[in-house]
Structure 1
Amino acid sequence: MSEFDIPAAEVLEARQKLVLDHFRDEVAQDWDATLSTFPHPHYEVIATMTVHDGDSAVRGYYHDTRTAFPDQHHELIALRHSADAVIVEFWLKGTHLGPFGKLPATGSKFRVRMTAYFVFDAEEKLVCERIYFDSLSMLKQLAGGIDKRKPKNWPVLVKLVRGLLAMSGEQPDRRLVETTEPTLSARS
């Protein structure tokens, strides 16, 4: 199979069902069901340059994001198929009620447009969810909900800036930066 070959309709339907079940189970916070969609859970979050690999790491990712945004949910925009992936555009929505990494809770709501690539291997097993989003859009919304004119909010703003500075010094996961250019087929 080359990068030009799109699988049969029944394969695409099965992939789509798995992805939609995955989304539904994430919103319901049914982590066992969500993780059952992978033989080996693996998330790549490009905006933060982090990889969550394996059951324990992915459960930690779920815990941390739902501590920060307990009401996190999705609103689908579009779903597309490719030779080896289902590509989903969606709004991620929630309220920042707990710490998000080194960022303190702001109480702000957010709505950020995202794209997730659900990548399948040759045996039609889900091997990766790779998520792309504009982190500045999210950060602007998280900080934007704080009334900066009120002195009682200034300590949160200071903690927010300190958290951002600390996070900016973190090294990206090498698996996301040490990539190899693919060998593509040439069609005449």
Structure 2
Amino acid sequence: MSDLKAAREKTVRDHMRLENEGAWEDVLATFAHPRYEFQMPRPGSPHPIGIFDGRDEVMHYFRTSRSAFPDLGNEILHVVVGDGDVAMVEFNLLGTHLGPLKTPAGEVAPTGKRISVRMAATFEFAPNSDKIVSERPYTDPRAILLQLGVGQ
């Protein structure tokens, strides 16, 4: 494995570990420019994907997701660093629904239920760098709601 690939894998693993720890400033430091692109609509947004661009919006994402799931975390299953500027991660998203969850269909009251949702994410890197320029998580958006017992 090249030095750059190894550095990128370390960045991805550190990024996800730091999310689990709630070390937000350290998570932000893994980015060249903080950006998440969720492949589902952001409540109240006209965009087909949920984009959180820049420090303030990414911090808003961290706060809102952790208000619904205070113990939200991930369990890495696989990391693959390609020859281009993208790495892929397969993981389980874990958490307990203890706060209101905002969805495009409205707010879901806390259920107290625990979720474990299989997901994947791509991490795009700045050319010749181990700094992330975008994280793109992918999952079936109904998966969380089904595990909470409120979706179909």
TM-score (structure 2 length as normaliser): 0.86
1:44 aligns with 2:50: no
Partner of 1:26: 19
Q: What is the rounded CA distance, in whole Å, between the counterparts of 1:107 and 1:33 in structure 2?
A: 29
Task: Using the TM superposition, give the Cα deviation of residue 81 of structure 1 relative to its aligned residue in structure 2, in angstroms.
Answer: 1.4
Q: What is the rounded CA distance, in whole Å, between the counterparts of 2:138 and 2:96 in structure 1?
A: 20
| Aligned-partner residue type, residue 113 of structure 2 | S
Partner of 1:114: 119
Q: What is the rounded CA distance, in whole Å, between the counterparts of 1:123 and 1:51 in structure 2?
A: 25
Identity of aligned residues (%): 39
Contact 2:35 2:52 in 1 (8 A): yes
3-state SS of paired residue (1:18): helix
Please, which runs of 5 or more residues in structure 2 have no aligned partner? 42-48
Question: Over residues 158-186 of structure 1, what are the superposed CA-to-partner deviations in whole Å (9 max), with x where a residue is unaligned?
Answer: xxx8xxxxxxxxxxxxxxxxxxxxxxxxx
After the TM superposition, which parts of structure 1 deviate over 2 Å for at least 4 consecutive aligned residues? none
3-state SS of paired residue (1:56): helix
TM-score (structure 1 length as normaliser): 0.70
Structure with the larger helix share:
1
Partner of 1:88: 89
Q: What is the rounded CA distance, in whole Å, between the counterparts of 1:123 and 1:13 in structure 2?
A: 12
1:77 aligns with 2:70: no
Number of aligned pairs? Answer: 139
1:129 aligns with 2:135: yes
The Cα RMSD (Å) is: 1.7
Q: What is the rounded CA distance, in whole Å, between the counterparts of 1:33 and 1:104 in structure 2?
A: 31
Q: How do residues 140-179 of structure 1 correspond to structure 2 at under 5 angstroms?
A: 140-143=146-149
| Aligned-partner residue type, residue 36 of structure 1 | A
Contact 2:4 2:128 in 1 (8 A): no
Q: What is the rounded CA distance, in whole Å, between the counterparts of 2:125 and 2:72 in structure 1?
A: 25
Q: Which has the higher contact order (CA 8 A, sep 6+)?
A: 2
Task: Using the TM superposition, give the Cα deviation of residue 121 of structure 1 relative to its aligned residue in structure 2, in angstroms.
Answer: 2.1
Which of 4, 15, 21 is the equivalent residue of 1:11? 4
Partner of 2:108: 103
| Aligned-partner residue type, residue 28 of structure 1 | E
Larger Rg: 1
Question: Over residues 4-39 of structure 1, what are the superposed CA-to-partner deviations in whole Å (9 max), with x where a residue is unaligned?
Answer: xxxx61100000111111011100001000000112
Which of 131, 141, 145 is the equivalent residue of 1:139? 145
Please, which runs of 5 or more residues in structure 1 have no aligned partner? 1-7, 145-160, 162-188
Contact 2:37 2:51 in 1 (8 A): yes
Q: What is the rounded CA distance, in whole Å, between the counterparts of 2:126 and 2:34 in structure 1?
A: 13
| Aligned-partner residue type, residue 37 of structure 1 | T
Q: How do residues 53-64 of structure 1 correspond to structure 2 at under 5 angstroms?
A: 53-64=53-64
